[in-house]
Structure 1
Amino acid sequence: MTAPTAAEVARAIDHTLLKPEATHADVAALVAEAVELGTYSVCVSPSMLPVAVPAGSDLKVAAVCGFPSGKHTSTVKATEAAESVARGADEIDMVIDIGAAREGRFDAVQADIAAVRAAAPAPTVLKVIIESAALSDEEIVGACRAAEAAGADFVKTSTGFHPAGGASEHAVRLMAQTVPTLQVKASGGVRTLEQAQAMMAAGATRLGVSGSRALLGGAAPGGSGY
């Protein structure tokens, strides 16, 4: 299979800014860069909403929920998701209770996701962050099945903030094979065009990237980030 071109990779990118020190000026610059690069969306913190998208642009806006720990109650996550949608978010990227998955309490994981799904129904796109680097393969499978049962649209590897690490080709492949009815978003540590292409070859249809310009331009990205 031919590797996706840089332009095709760009259309799979959620151009992301989730640093706690981010300002509204930073978000405006993010949007301008996303339009220039041709990314699918921007992904921001809920407090940065609403985001002004240029007239005529098809750029989508995603907001995170329960970020980054996932240790918020389901009621709090549902309220956060509903408010983000009301403030213009097209997509919600929620974090599960990772500890519940590690304990094998997948009914609780499913209920948590279902609460957010109910608060942000279709056509809002719901992506479920499972923090795959912190889970065993068995736990990844269980979390993905819980997301599917709760009505999610995507399963997503990582927040990009967990010390265990970010996306891996193995996790993406396992996620795609476990829930073929859902899409997979690879995020966390995707910093080069080659890494992005590898994630897409493994089954990712969306990518979370903060250093999109460097990735698409083939330059070495600087600093740390999503």
Structure 2
Amino acid sequence: MSPDELTGRALARMVDISAVQAQHGRADVEALARHALEGDFVAAHVLPSWLPVLRPLLVGSTTNAGSPVGFPSGGSATPIKVAEAGWLIEAGVQEMDVVMNIGLVRSGELAAAGRDVAAVLSAVGGAVPVKVILEVGLLDERQLRDAARAALDAGATSLKTGTGWQGVATTPRHVEIMRAAAGPGPEIKASGGVRSLEQIRALIAAGATRFGINTAVAVRLVAEAGA
């Protein structure tokens, strides 16, 4: 999509909204589902323990119920990530994020980081889409490029810039690096600090195809984009 073609409807179908902070409870999950249905957002994400609450609220809609693995640090042991992914599949997840082990990436242990991602992707077995979170705010350009390549070599078909927990906004440069590593095919989700239509258009121009945006901000931006 060209940035100039962005409409509210098109934007909503590119945006995931979420309630994935530690303090989010049942009322927040129920409110998230209402916003997702009213706005026809492409996905709504919650922490794993809340997926059984969210999933039935979205039945019959075009909004996917999503949840993360190894969130937010990425440092869980690989067998724990594999078990969490399996549990989410059994709970009815429709799409999944997995946080790459950023400590391994920063240590230059890219093969180990790739094996961690590959194990989760193997456990999912293509049952649902999986986005690999690279946490761009903790990586320099070389590390980001290496992390993207390691994830892709492990079988990833979708990359995500961050968890939103690091307080570092995703920039067009982050997306450009990821797109250069990924080529034209894989999905790239920009998440973290996206607050304006101007940012969204710049990120699309850099190669982003999907967005994770704060729910209240997402609702506002869809309205601003218009019909």
With normalisation by structure 2, the TM-score equals 0.91
Which of 2-11 and 27-36 deviates more? 2-11
| Aligned pair partner of 1:129 in 129, 133, 139 | 133
Structure 1 CA distance for aligned equivalents of residues 117 and 90 of structure 2: 19
Gapped regions of structure 1 (runs ≥ 5): 220-226
Gapped regions of structure 2 (runs ≥ 5): none
Q: Which has the higher contact order (CA 8 A, sep 6+)?
A: 2
Distance apart, 1:28 and its partner CA = 1.5
1:23 aligned residue:
25
Distance apart, 1:55 and its partner CA = 4.3
Distance apart, 1:73 and its partner CA = 0.7
SS of the equivalent of 2:98 reads strand
| Aligned pair partner of 2:49 in 30, 47, 70 | 47
Higher helix share: 2
Q: Deviations over 1:159-199 (max 9, x none)?
A: 11114x13111011110111123210100001222222222
Is the aligned partner of 1:215 residue 2:218? no
SS of the equivalent of 1:14 reads strand
Report how many aligned residue pairs link the two structures.
218
Does the CA-based 8 Å contact 1:131-1:166 persist in structure 2?
Answer: no
Does the CA-based 8 Å contact 1:63-1:91 persist in structure 2?
Answer: yes
**What letter corresponds to residue 219 of structure 2 in structure 1?**
R
Distance apart, 1:218 and its partner CA = 3.8
Structure 1 CA distance for aligned equivalents of residues 160 and 41 of structure 2: 18
SS of the equivalent of 1:49 reads helix
Structure 2 CA distance for aligned equivalents of residues 151 and 4 of structure 1: 30
2:194 aligned residue:
190
1:113 aligned residue:
117
User: Aligned pair in 2 of structure 1 residues 55, 80: CA closer, same or farther (>3 Å)?
Assistant: closer
SS of the equivalent of 2:32 reads helix
Kindly, what percent of the aligned residue pairs are identical? 36
**What letter corresponds to residue 86 of structure 1 in structure 2?**
E
Does the CA-based 8 Å contact 2:58-2:65 persist in structure 1?
Answer: no
Is the aligned partner of 1:176 residue 2:182? no
Does the CA-based 8 Å contact 2:7-2:222 persist in structure 1?
Answer: no
2:164 aligned residue:
160
Does the CA-based 8 Å contact 2:78-2:116 persist in structure 1?
Answer: yes
SS of the equivalent of 1:127 reads strand
Which of 123-132 and 45-54 deviates more? 45-54
**TM-align CA RMSD:** 1.6
Runs of 4+ in 1 over 3 A off after TM superposition: none
1:201 aligned residue:
205
With normalisation by structure 1, the TM-score equals 0.91
SS of the equivalent of 2:202 reads helix
